[in-house]
Amino acid sequence: MGVLIAVVIIVVLLALAGFGLGVRIVTQYEQGVLFRLGRLRGTRGPGFQLIIPVVDVLRRVSLRIVTMPIQSQGIITLDNVSVDVSAVAYYKVVDAVKSVVAIENVRDAIDQIAQTTLRKVVGQHSLDQTLSETDKINLDIRKILDGTTVDWGVEVTLVELKDIQLPDSMKRAMARQAEAEREKRAKIINAEGESLAAAALGQASDTMMAHPLALQLRNLQSLVEIGVDKNTTVVFPAPLMSTIAELGSFLASEQAAAVSEQAAAPAAPAALPPSSDGNELPAAPSGAADTAR
């Protein structure tokens, strides 16, 4: 009786051990690939899964997006400039069976093919294109990787250039180029401002010529603006041409007044020389004087 009980206990323990060895838990973001005696038996979804110990093998494959940095690669661009380019790739498994059966280590394979693709694509572009057309380069790399990894059950969702290292000499040359470009833009903007200012001044001069008092009002306004600081002595010159014109008109008016006064004054009688006896001679009549002339 004791032997029977011992055998039952051993059998129960072995059953429990076998049951424990056959229990598998597949999480929500995974998918199980089942092999029975080395042959593919299909996939298993998330949750509790029971397999036959020793006979079955369940490979769990993650379906989440994986972030994979691409090591910095020394690349010579199309215009013979040496640059170091690093990138990052994002991929996910879309077919768990292919990712297990078609390739041994899908992550290492994608890492290697991504490095070679990065060197190939960047090497076909010049330095300026590499710096300005990163979106196009990213798309080209992704298309090449997708064409390769589709047979592995993997989809590359995104590729981004992360860092581009330039030689120091090239950095200095680009800095000089950027400085020259900014100086050119500054000169162009300054010239445009001068042109607009000249046009505005021309319009203002036309307005002042049409309205002569506008210039005097502007002068007075300038005096008001300068006179805010009471500690400053301001010498404000009068307009030269208007002053000369006013002076000329004043002199002309004075001369005309003098001529009119001379014309309006009565003629004085002519003085006669004294006689020999010291007496003055009587004044000759005006008619006799005219006859004498």
pLDDT tier, 224 (very low <50, low <70, confident <90, very high otherwise): confident
Higher per-residue pLDDT: 200 or 236: 200
User: Strands (DSSP E) along 140-287, which ranges?
Assistant: 154-165
Buried b (16+ CB within 10 A) or exposed e, 98-111: bbbeebeebeebbe
Spans of all domains in the chain: 14-62, 66-166
- Cα–Cα–Cα angle for 129, 134, 140, rounded to 5 degrees: 100
Q: Does the pLDDT value for residue 89 go beyond 90?
A: yes
Interaxial angle between packed helices 212-226 and 168-210, expressed in degrees from 0 to 180 and rounded to the nearest 10: 130
The Cα 96–Cα 113 span in angstroms is 20
Q: Topology of domain 66-166, per CATH?
A: Tetrahydropterin Synthase; Chain A (3.30.479)
Contact 165, 97 (CB under 8 A): no
Q: Does the pLDDT value for residue 238 go beyond 60?
A: no
Q: Which tens digit of pLDDT belongs to each residue from 23-36?
A: 888 889 999 999 98
How far, rounded to the nearest angstrom, does the alpha carbon of residue 86 sit from its chain's CA centroid?
25
Handedness of CA 125, 130, 136, 141 (dihedral sign): positive
Q: Does the pLDDT value for residue 125 go beyond 80?
A: yes
pLDDT (0 to 100) of residue 290: 43
pLDDT (0 to 100) of residue 116: 92
- What the block records as the tokens of 290 is 């005219």
Q: How would you classify residue 92: left for phi > 0, otherwise alpha for psi between -120 and 50, otherwise beta?
A: beta
Contact 43, 95 (CB under 8 A): no
Q: Which tens digit of pLDDT belongs to each residue from 2-16?
A: 777 877 788 777 777
pLDDT (0 to 100) of residue 143: 92
User: How many Cα atoms within 13 Å fall on the side-chain side of residue 70?
Assistant: 32
Query: Does the reported pTM lie above 0.75?
Result: no
Mean pLDDT calculated for residue range 213-217? 72
Q: Does the pLDDT value for residue 154 go beyond 90?
A: yes
